[in-house]
């Protein structure tokens, strides 16, 4: 299974934290563009994510592994990384019962915006947002996650733009150029999530 292979790789490379794939089932994403439905990797690599997006198709009946559901049910905090909400995060949330578990979690769920100053740090997130009729902004990302999240972290370039977003907020430097930047941001997000969970 994918879980077993991932566990073997973690052991081989001496990675101590548990790394769990969302599912052991195939879970292909497809992109619909001008009447053509592309497998995601075809659209992303072969077509260089140029065909305009009309719809994103996620598979039905994908189930999360027991290991994932058990970890989520016991989680103190959930942090949604600054990845593409549509083709990185949504496929994970789509694996049942990940979304309902997170929605019912009594503790804090915090998301980090992948949009900085109206642009994606990398990849097609900004293009996707435009083609789906969304503003390319941190606010739009927070609104997209909606009631799923209790807190939202966004970059200093977007300071003052999230006044209408009704969740706890942290505005910090989220651009990660170096390993030190990654450690700093991880600590900032973790400290913020702990405060959100405690109701501060």
pLDDT tens track for 47-70: 999 999 999 999 989 999 999 999
- What is the distance between the alpha carbons of residues 157 and 194, in angstroms, rounded to a whole number? 24
Its pTM stands at: 0.90
pLDDT tens track for 18-48: 999 999 999 999 999 998 999 999 999 999 9
Helices (H) and strands (E) in the chain, counts: 8, 9
pLDDT tens track for 72-125: 999 989 999 999 999 999 999 999 999 999 999 888 999 999 999 988 988 889
| Residue 174 clears pLDDT 70, i.e. is over it | yes
Structural domain boundaries of the chain? Answer: 25-60, 63-200
Could you tell me if 196 and 110 are in contact, meaning their C-beta atoms sit under 8 angstroms apart?
A: yes
Q: Which class is 63-200 in CATH?
A: alpha beta
Can you give the pLDDT at residue 199? 77
Residues in the chain: 200
| Residue 200 clears pLDDT 70, i.e. is over it | no
- Mean predicted confidence (pLDDT) in 155-167: 89
Q: What backbone phi and psi angles, to 5 degrees, belong to 115?
A: -105, 125
């Amino acid at each position: 299974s994918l879980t077993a292979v991932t566990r073997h790789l973690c052991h081989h490379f001496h990675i101590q934290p548990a790394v769990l794939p969302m599912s052991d089932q195939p879970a292909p994403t497809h992109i619909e563009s001008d009447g053509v439905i592309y497998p995601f990797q075809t659209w992303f690599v072969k077509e260089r994510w140029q065909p305009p997006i009309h719809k994103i198709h996620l598979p039905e009946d994908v189930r999360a592994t027991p290991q994932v559901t058990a970890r989520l049910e016991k989680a103190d905090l959930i942090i949604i990384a600054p990845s593409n909400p549509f083709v990185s995060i949504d496929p994970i949330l789509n694996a049942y019962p990940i979304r309902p578990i997170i929605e019912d979690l009594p503790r804090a769920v915090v998301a980090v915006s992948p949009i900085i100053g109206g642009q994606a740090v990398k990849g097609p997130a900004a293009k996707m947002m435009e083609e789906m009729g969304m503003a390319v902004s941190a606010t739009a990302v927070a609104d997209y996650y909606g009631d799923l999240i209790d807190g939202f972290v966004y970059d200093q370039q977007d300071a003052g733009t999230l006044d209408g977003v009704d969740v706890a907020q942290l505005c910090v430097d989220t651009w990660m150029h170096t390993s030190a930047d990654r450690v700093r941001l991880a600590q900032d997000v973790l400290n913020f999530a702990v405060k959100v969970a405690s109701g501060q």
